[in-house]
């Protein structure tokens, strides 16, 4: 058993919300994720969330199809707000007070991102969901997660994914792929391991924020991560490569 984290930044991909669907939002999956988050919040842990938009629109794919990259990225940011509002609704139906803050002003549906206000919400045990990425094109929601984690003084970034950690190569293509238990930031960057994009890794390294990568689909994993159980892969300066 490792340390228990008190304030965490949970990074969810948009794809995590669509379950087995090829597009959109699976309400049952959203309810399941919300229930896990609610259970952790009720234990006294402060949770902020950054959610992606790939289940609705991914900017880089739009650019690849011929769109202007900045325009495509802004559309992707708006998709993340749709996911954030969906998750907010699910959490509030479970009695968990939740605020959505967006990096692009949408005052009718969400608060603008204000760092001090976000921290105050967390101190009052409200879940804060950051939508619209960083508000800037050419930056991923992984980078946003690292940025917001640094801004709110989070203890850790949880990267909840569809695999159970970080591998030396794609486990779907190579059955002999090795899963790491722990890694240093430098090893991740030097070997271009697909944890988060390099800008996000560098931000976490510069601010000494550990990253934990684990399988979201296994029930209870968010709680296990919070209490420091050895699940998935942990990335940090004090970690060994193993």
Residue 3 pLDDT class (50, 70, 90 cuts): low
233: β partners: 213
Q: How many residues are there in the chain?
A: 242
Q: Is residue 167 part of a domain?
A: yes
Angle at 126 between CA 120 and CA 127, to 5 degrees: 110
Residue 1 pLDDT class (50, 70, 90 cuts): very low
pLDDT 10s digits, 208-237: 999 999 999 899 999 999 998 889 999 998
Q: Is residue 2 part of a domain?
A: no
Q: Is residue 201 part of a domain?
A: yes
Determine the structural domain holding residue 24 and report its residue range: 7-235
Q: Is residue 137 part of a domain?
A: yes
| CATH, residue 20 | 3.40.1160.10
Q: Is residue 240 part of a domain?
A: no
If one counts the domains in the chain, the total is 1
Q: Is residue 241 part of a domain?
A: no
For the chain, what is the mean pLDDT?
93
As annotated, the binding site includes 11-14, 53-54, 58, 73, 134-141, 161-162, 167, 170
Locate all alpha helices (DSSP H) within the chain, ordered by sequence. 27-42, 59-64, 69-93, 115-123, 141-151, 185-190, 198-206, 221-226
pTM across the whole model: 0.94
Question: How close are the terminal C-alpha atoms of the chain, in Å?
Answer: 18
On the question of pLDDT at 108 being above 60, the answer is yes
What share of residues in the chain are helix, strand, coil (percent, to 5)? 40, 20, 45
Separation of alpha carbons 136 and 129, rounded Å = 17
pLDDT 10s digits, 28-60: 999 999 999 999 999 999 999 999 999 999 888
Q: Is residue 98 part of a domain?
A: yes
Q: Using an 8 Å Cβ cutoff, are 124 and 99 in contact?
A: no
pLDDT 10s digits, 109-120: 999 999 999 999
Separation of alpha carbons 25 and 97, rounded Å = 22
On the question of pLDDT at 182 being above 60, the answer is yes
Q: Using an 8 Å Cβ cutoff, are 223 and 158 in contact?
A: no
As annotated, the binding site for UMP includes 53, 73, 134-141
As annotated, the binding site for ATP includes 11-14, 54, 58, 161-162, 167, 170
Q: Which two tokens stand for residue 22?
A: 């090829």
């Amino acid at each position: 058993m490792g340390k228990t984290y008190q304030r965490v930044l949970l990074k969810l991909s948009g794809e995590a919300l669509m379950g087995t669907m090829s597009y959109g939002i699976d309400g049952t999956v959203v309810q399941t994720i919300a229930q896990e988050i609610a259970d952790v919040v009720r234990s006294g842990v402060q949770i902020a969330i950054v959610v992606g938009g790939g289940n609705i629109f991914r900017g880089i794919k739009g650019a690849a199809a011929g769109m202007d990259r900045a325009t495509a990225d802004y559309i992707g940011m708006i998709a993340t707000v749709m996911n954030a509002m969906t998750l907010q609704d699910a959490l509030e139906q479970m009695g968990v007070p939740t605020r959505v803050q967006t990096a692009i002003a949408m005052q009718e549906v969400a608060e603008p991102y204000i760092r001090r206000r976000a921290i105050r919400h967390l101190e009052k045990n409200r879940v804060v969901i950051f939508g619209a990425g960083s508000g800037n094109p050419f930056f991923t929601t992984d980078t946003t997660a690292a940025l917001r984690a640094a801004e709110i003084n989070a203890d850790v970034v949880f990267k909840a994914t569809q695999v159970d950690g970080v591998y030396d190569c794609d486990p779907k293509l190579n059955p002999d792929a090795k899963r790491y238990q722990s890694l240093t930031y430098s090893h991740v960057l030097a070997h271009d391991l697909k944890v988060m994009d390099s800008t996000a890794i560098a931000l976490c390294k510069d601010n000494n924020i550990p990253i934990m990568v684990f399988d979201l689909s296994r029930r209870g994993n968010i709680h296990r991560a919070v209490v420091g159980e050895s699940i998935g892969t942990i990335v940090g300066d004090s970690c060994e490569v193993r």
